[in-house]
């Protein structure tokens, strides 16, 4: 079958690979009908999430049809239409039973302390072959798959595989509640989903920071208040808009691939020196590219985290859903202690939220297809990756009908 395969930093290809097969009795084989390209995939190609193994099939978002089930899979049958949760979970360990599916003790073959296992990730996550392919083996299918309601389209369901639950998780981590003023850092698709989640959790006001005009325009369409970091200092603007206090809650939907402002007061008023940011980039992505126009590692790895802690009010809370690799340790802990802040971060416990969000989509409470801006043929998926990586206008979320 055809699949998107990682070969090296900056080198992905559409290759012929072996068809997957049932390996464990808890597996299912799914024919992928729709996949997608995610910002997390770009981290893998840019080298800001190290440890990728050559030959790994990429992709962690999919909707499909069950083709075959292992002997221990009781809740699904051939022909069932399903969404694949991006993170893999056994459903029976103490962490899964408590709702911490991303910290499953069983799913990651590297052992209980290895952390989250997800499709198409580095060696530390499995690795497990990804979902940008014609077919995929789904471990622990009873938990990792969720049946799609008949009234929910493939395009709606693919957004519930990862980005919508992650945005919802971010609002929950930030403790967004009734009447809160919320800041979302990053207006990519996860940031857009975080805006939608914050509003549905009762936020009275949502501000959003980004440097790409069309992403800020999409946020404005959700009645969020845009702040362009290439034209304004986001921390100063947040303080101005909140009477000098700061926001109640912040959601960091950027992570380690943050970019420095190219112009304006923020470019002259970075919270740390250029040399500090360069050292952070070298540690976060030692093999990452720093020159050229393609696959560049972010040049300000801690910037979103620093802005988050500066923009939040005293005794406020910050939820971190942006990707930071395990070896990244540049975090201003002093600000947390001295300002009585609450900071929570993590990988989304997808299985906890996917069923309820599918229900919300089915009822019309959320239509995540508003954030889909591109549809790529599998033959042109590598070109789509490249364009998405360059952050060109009109490339917010790309889905791939398989």
Q: Per-residue pLDDT tens for 278-301? A: 999 999 999 999 999 899 999 999
- Measure the CA–CA gap between 41 and 62, rounded to whole angstroms: 14
* Mean per-residue pLDDT, 231-236: 98
* Mean per-residue pLDDT, 118-146: 97
Q: CA-CA distances (angstroms) from residue 174 to 88, 183, 197, 254?
A: 24, 10, 11, 14
The residues near 31 (Cβ < 8 Å, ≥ 6 apart) are: 64, 65, 67, 134, 135
pLDDT of residue 259: 96
pLDDT of residue 145: 98
- Measure the CA–CA gap between 77 and 60, rounded to whole angstroms: 22
- Per the document, the length of the chain is 402
* Mean per-residue pLDDT, 172-186: 98
Q: CA-CA distances (angstroms) from residue 193 to 163, 222, 323?
A: 7, 10, 16
Of the candidates 302, 290, 220, the one whose C-alpha atom is nearest the C-alpha of residue 258 is: 302
* Mean per-residue pLDDT, 217-239: 98
**pLDDT confidence bin for 220, thresholds 50/70/90:** very high
Helix (H, G, I), strand (E, B), or coil: what is residue 287? coil
- Quote the mean pLDDT of the chain: 97
- Measure the CA–CA gap between 201 and 85, rounded to whole angstroms: 23
* Mean per-residue pLDDT, 116-142: 97
Range of weakest confidence among 18-27, 61-70, 282-291: 282-291
- Measure the CA–CA gap between 326 and 399, rounded to whole angstroms: 28
Cβ–Cβ under 8 Å, residues 164 and 92: no
Pairing of strands 2-8, 11-16: antiparallel
Q: Per-residue pLDDT tens for 313-360? A: 999 999 999 999 988 999 999 999 999 999 999 999 999 999 999 999
Q: CA-CA distances (angstroms) from residue 59 to 34, 134, 213, 327?
A: 11, 12, 27, 23
Cβ–Cβ under 8 Å, residues 112 and 45: no
* Helix spans in 98-251 (H): 141-144, 154-158, 163-173, 189-200, 213-221, 234-241
């Amino acid at each position: 079958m055809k699949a998107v395969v990682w070969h090296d930093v900056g080198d992905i290809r559409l290759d012929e690979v072996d068809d997957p097969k049932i390996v464990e009795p808890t597996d299912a084989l799914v024919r992928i009908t729709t996949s997608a390209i995610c910002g997390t995939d770009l981290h893998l190609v840019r080298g800001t999430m190290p440890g990728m193994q050559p030959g790994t099939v990429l992709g962690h978002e999919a909707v499909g049809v069950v083709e075959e089930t292992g002997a221990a899979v009781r809740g699904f049958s051939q022909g069932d239409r399903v969404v694949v949760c991006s993170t893999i979970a056994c459903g029976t360990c103490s962490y899964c039973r408590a709702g911490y599916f991303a910290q499953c003790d069983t799913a990651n073959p590297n052992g209980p302390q290895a952390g989250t296992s997800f499709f198409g990730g580095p060696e530390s996550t499995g690795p497990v072959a990804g979902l940008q392919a014609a077919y995929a083996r789904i471990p622990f299918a009873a938990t990792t798959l969720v049946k799609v309601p008949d009234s929910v389209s493939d395009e709606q369901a693919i957004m519930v595989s990862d980005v919508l639950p992650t945005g919802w998780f971010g609002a929950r981590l930030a403790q967004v509640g009734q009447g809160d003023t919320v800041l979302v850092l990053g207006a990519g698709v996860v940031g857009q989903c975080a805006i939608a989640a914050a509003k549905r959790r009762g936020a009275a006001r949502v501000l959003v920071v980004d440097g790409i005009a069309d992403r800020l325009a999409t946020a404005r369409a959700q009645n969020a208040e845009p702040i362009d970091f290439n034209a304004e200092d986001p921390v100063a603007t947040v303080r101005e808009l909140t009477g000098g206090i700061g926001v109640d809650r912040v959601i960091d939907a950027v992570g380690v691939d943050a970019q420095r402002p190219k112009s304006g007061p923020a470019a002259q008023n970075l919270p740390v020196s250029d040399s500090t940011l360069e050292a952070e980039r070298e540690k976060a992505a030692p093999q990452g590219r720093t020159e050229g126009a393609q696959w560049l590692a972010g040049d300000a790895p801690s910037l979103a985290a620093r802005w988050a802690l500066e923009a939040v009010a005293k005794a406020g809370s910050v939820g971190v859903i942006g990707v930071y690799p395990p070896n990244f340790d540049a975090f201003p802990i002093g600000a947390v202690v001295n300002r009585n802040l609450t900071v929570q971060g993590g990988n989304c416990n997808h299985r906890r939220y996917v069923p309820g969000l599918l229900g919300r989509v089915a009822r019309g409470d959320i239509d995540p297809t508003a954030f889909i801006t591109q549809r790529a043929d599998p033959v042109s998926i590598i070109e789509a990756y490249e364009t998405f990586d360059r952050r060109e206008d009109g490339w917010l979320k790309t889905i791939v009908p398989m």
